[in-house]
Amino acid sequence: MQEFKPTRELFGDRYNSVTTKMRKIRLLIVVAIILAMMMCFLMFFTLAYRVDKMNVGGSRFYSESQILDAAGLSQKSDMITFNAEKAESAIREACPYLHDVSVECDYPNTVKITVADETHLFYASTAQGYVVLSDELRVLEISDSKEAFLENGYMSITVPVIANAEVGKTIKAADGRDLSYATSFLSSVLDSRFGTEITSVDVSEKFNLSVQCGAHLLYFGSSSNMETKLSVAYQMVDEGVFSRYGSALCNVSDPSGATVRENVTVAPVQPAAQQPETTRSTSSNGAVG
């Protein structure tokens, strides 16, 4: 007996309708299978690439949990959706005392976060209160009191009148002046032999820059020719010139005619008899005469 098959000639439009529905059903079944496979793969990779190890280190200001919370990381996080760049930005914003932040993904299960604290911390008095600044003049904290900063040994810094202080942002002078002279000066003196002895810095005026090292004041004038100016100051220290004064004022703004005298603006640590001004001259190659 011949097998009966529905044909377009026998059933007309009904045949077309049934055929279309069957094609749609088959298509839906294929799509469902593909989606199910994709879900299986996604679940597999989500479970396989789940964060298992989180290595954090390098900060004395923030705990490991604070840094992980800022990065949005936990044992339930998955490596597939984790974005290292966004995590770095989030950590920097939440932890302003950090100078450097690095987030690396070591697949399949490890995230390594390396941070470095700001090493040189200053506090300044502003219209908004006391602000903590880095050596790049970035605002790290704003407070109504300076007591905690003094207790922690932060250096005092005098800056120009600033337009606004915002945590995480570099200060801007109210008069619009470029403060690159200040950061350049700070970089030079902090990296010098005097760096560990500095107690205060004055960068309020471009051509009246100075640092206080204990009882002694070093006046540099501008931030130009810093290598020669520091070299002259080093030689004066090595020759024991500073020790002749209870509180010395060393003026190296003109290194060819640098002078040292008693600093009457600061009370000497050890009272000493008034000493005459000591003058040092330098040759064109920077040697002290």
> In this predicted model, what pLDDT tens digit does every residue of 39-53 receive, in sequence order?
766 665 555 456 667
Q: Is the pLDDT of residue 6 over 60?
A: no
CA distances for 238 relative to 100, 105, 121, 263, angstroms: 36, 51, 28, 19
Range from 67-81, 92-106, 117-131, 203-217 carrying the lowest mean pLDDT: 67-81
pLDDT at 129: 92
Given a contact cutoff of 8 angstroms between Cβ atoms, the answer to whether 95 and 59 are in contact is yes
Position 50, amino acid: R
Q: Greater confidence, 34 or 143? A: 143
Query: pLDDT class for 274, splitting at 50, 70, 90?
Result: very low
Collapsing DSSP to helix, strand or coil, 113 comes out as strand
Q: What percent of the chain has pLDDT over 90?
A: 60
Top mean pLDDT of 33-37, 108-112, 219-223, 284-288 is at 219-223
Q: Greater confidence, 55 or 120? A: 120
Range 4-32 average pLDDT:
65
Closest alpha carbon to 252 in 241, 243, 244: 241
Mean pLDDT estimate for the chain:
84
Residue 213: CB atoms within 10 Å: 21
Q: What percent of the chain has pLDDT over 70?
A: 80
Position 91, amino acid: I
Position 287, amino acid: A
pLDDT at 77: 77
Position 188, amino acid: S
Query: pLDDT class for 10, splitting at 50, 70, 90?
Result: low
Query: pLDDT class for 286, splitting at 50, 70, 90?
Result: very low
On the CB side of 184, how many CA atoms lie within 13 Å of its CA?
Answer: 13
CA distances for 226 relative to 146, 218, 278, angstroms: 31, 12, 21
Residue 258: CB atoms within 10 Å: 24
pLDDT at 23: 76
Range from 74-83, 91-100, 192-201 carrying the lowest mean pLDDT: 74-83
pLDDT at 15: 53
pTM of the model: 0.75
CA distance 108 to 77: 12
pLDDT at 5: 55
For residue 23, what are its two tokens? 């094609």
Q: Is the pLDDT of residue 268 over 50?
A: no
CA distances for 206 relative to 158, 174, 190, 202, 209, angstroms: 12, 14, 17, 10, 7
Interval 105-156: pLDDT, tens:
887 778 899 999 999 999 999 988 999 999 999 999 999 999 999 999 999 9
